Amino acid sequence: MRRSPRALGLAAGLLALAACATGPRGYPTAPTPTGANQPGPSNTSPGTGPSQPAPSNNHTGPDPAVAVAAGGLHTCAVLRSGAVDCWGRGASGELGDGNLRDSPRPVRVVGLGEVIQLALGDQHSCALVRGGQVQCWGSNGAGQLGDGAGRPGAQSARPTPVRGLADAVAIAAGPSHTCAARKTGQIACWGDNRHAQVGDLSRQVWVSPALVPAVTNAAEVAAGARHTCARVQGGKVMCWGTGSHGQLGDRGSARAPGLVPGVEGVQALAAGQGHTCALKAGGGALCWGAGFGKLPVDISGVSGAVALTAGEAHTCARTSDGAVRCWGDNANGQLGDGTSEDRKAGAAVVGLTQAVSVAAGADHTCAALRGGGVVCWGSNGAGALGNGVAGEETEGVAVSVRNLTGVSEIASGDDFSCALSGGAVQCWGAGNMGQLGDGSQGDRGGADDVTGIEDAVQIAAGRNHACARRKSGAVACWGQNGRGQLGDGSKQTRSRPVAVAGLSDAVEIGAGRDHTCAQRKSGQVVCWGRGAEGQVAVGKIEDADRPTIVAGSFGQVTQFAMGEVHSCALQSNRIPLCWGQNRWGQLGNLVGVGTQTGQAVVPVMKLLPAEEVTAGALHTCARITNGEVYCWGNTDDGQLGAGLTIASVARVRVKDVRGTMAIAGGEAHTCAAVAGGQIYCWGRDNAGQLGDRGTQLQRFPVAGPRIDGTIRLSAGSEHTCALRQNGRVLCWGSNQRGQLGGGTGSQTTTPTAVVDIP
Report pLDDT digits (tens) over 232-245. 999 999 999 998 89
> Pick the residue with more confidence: 314 or 36?
314
Rounded Cα gap, residues 447 and 743, in angstroms = 10
Domain boundary among 344, 369, 401: 401
Rounded Cα–Cα distance for residues 361 and 324 (Å): 15
* 208 and 59 within one domain: yes
Q: Which domain holds residue 602?
A: 407-753
Mind giving me the DSSP string for 109-122?
PPS---EEEEEE-S
Domain count, the chain: 2
Whether residues 344 and 488 fall in one domain: no
55 DSSP assignment: P
pLDDT band, very low/low/confident/very high, at 444 (cuts 50, 70, 90): confident
pLDDT at 467: 98
pLDDT for 51 beyond 80: no
Q: What is the pLDDT of residue 391?
A: 57
- The pLDDT of residue 21 is 33
Is 10 within the bounds of a domain?
no
Average pLDDT, the chain: 84
- What is the per-residue pLDDT for 566? 95
- pLDDT of 746: 54
Which of 401, 416, 434 terminates a domain? The answer is: 401
Of 91-95, 308-312, 373-377, the one with minimum mean pLDDT is 373-377
State residue 3's pLDDT score. 35
What's the rounded Cα separation, in Å, for the pair 648 and 631? 9
Q: CB under 8 Å to 538, separation ≥6 — which residues? A: 550, 551, 552, 579, 598, 599, 600, 601
Residue 41 has pLDDT above 50, yes or no: no
Q: How far apart are alpha carbons 241 and 174 in whole angstroms?
A: 12
The answer to whether position 447 is within a domain reads yes
Question: Across the strands, what pairs with 172?
Answer: 179
Q: Give the pLDDT confidence score for residue 46 in this predicted structure.
A: 27
The DSSP string of 565-624 is SEEEEEETTS-EEEEE--TTSTTSSSTTTT--S----EEPTT---EEEEEE-SSEEEEEE
3-state secondary structure of 205: strand
CA distance 733 to 716: 9
Q: Give residue 155's identity as a one-letter amino acid code.
A: Q
Q: Give the CATH number for residue 152.
A: 2.130.10.30
Closest listed residue to residue 83, CA positions, set 116, 59, 55, 43: 116
CA 571 to CA 556: how far, in whole Å? 5
Last residue of a domain, one of 368, 401, 434: 401
Q: Is 392 in the same domain as 540? A: no
Question: Do both 627 and 680 map to the same domain?
Answer: yes
Residue 698 has pLDDT above 90, yes or no: yes
What does the pLDDT average to over 411-424? 89
Q: How many of the other CB atoms lie within 10 Å of CB of 452?
A: 16
Among 122-126, 355-359, 558-562, 732-736, name the one with the lowest average pLDDT.
355-359
Same domain, 67 and 135: yes
Report pTM: 0.52
Mean pLDDT value of segment 485-501: 97
Give the tens place of pLDDT for each residue, 243-273: 889 999 987 667 899 999 989 999 999 999 9
Q: Say if 6 falls within a structural domain.
A: no
Same domain, 397 and 523: no
Whether residues 295 and 426 fall in one domain: no
**How many percent of the chain have pLDDT more than 90?**
61
Same domain, 99 and 68: yes
Q: Over 50: is that where the pLDDT of 15 sits?
A: no
pLDDT tens-digit profile of 52-64? 222 222 224 557 7
Quick check: 83 and 115 in contact, CB under 8 A? yes
Q: Are residues 190 and 225 in the same domain?
A: yes
Please give the pLDDT value at position 261.
92
Determine the pLDDT at residue 754.
Answer: 54
Average pLDDT over residues 447-469: 94
Q: What is the pLDDT of residues 87-118, one digit of tens each?
A: 889 999 999 999 998 887 778 999 998 999 99
Write down the pLDDT at residue 565: 95
Q: Does residue 61 sit within a domain?
A: yes
Residue 581, pLDDT above cutoff 60: yes
Mean pLDDT of 378-389: 73
Instruction: Give me the percent of the chain exceeding a pLDDT of 70.
Output: 85
- What is the rounded CA–CA span in Å between residue 543 and residue 481? 11
Average of pLDDT values for 627-634? Answer: 96
Number of Cβ within a 10 Å radius of residue 664: 32
Checking if the pLDDT of 491 tops 50, the result is yes
In the predicted model, is pLDDT for residue 545 greater than 60?
yes
The C-alpha atoms of residue 213 and residue 220 are separated, in whole angstroms, by 16
Determine contact, residues 246/292, Cβ cutoff 8 Å.
yes
- Residue of 743 and 726 predicted with greater confidence: 726
Give the span between the Cα atoms of 88 and 45, in whole angstroms: 25
Q: How confident is the model at residue 538 (pLDDT cuts 50, 70, 90)?
A: confident
Task: Identify the burial level of 491 via C-beta atoms within 10 angstroms of its C-beta, where 0-12 means exposed, 13-18 middle and 19 or more buried.
Answer: middle
Give pLDDT, residue 50: 24
- Side-chain half-sphere CA neighbours of 149 within 13 A: 12
Q: Does residue 379 fall inside a structural domain?
A: yes
What average pLDDT does the segment 286-290 reach? 95
- Bridge partners (DSSP) of residue 375 are 367, 400
Return the minimum-mean-pLDDT range out of 364-373, 463-472, 573-582: 364-373
Q: Is the same domain home to 412 and 343? A: no
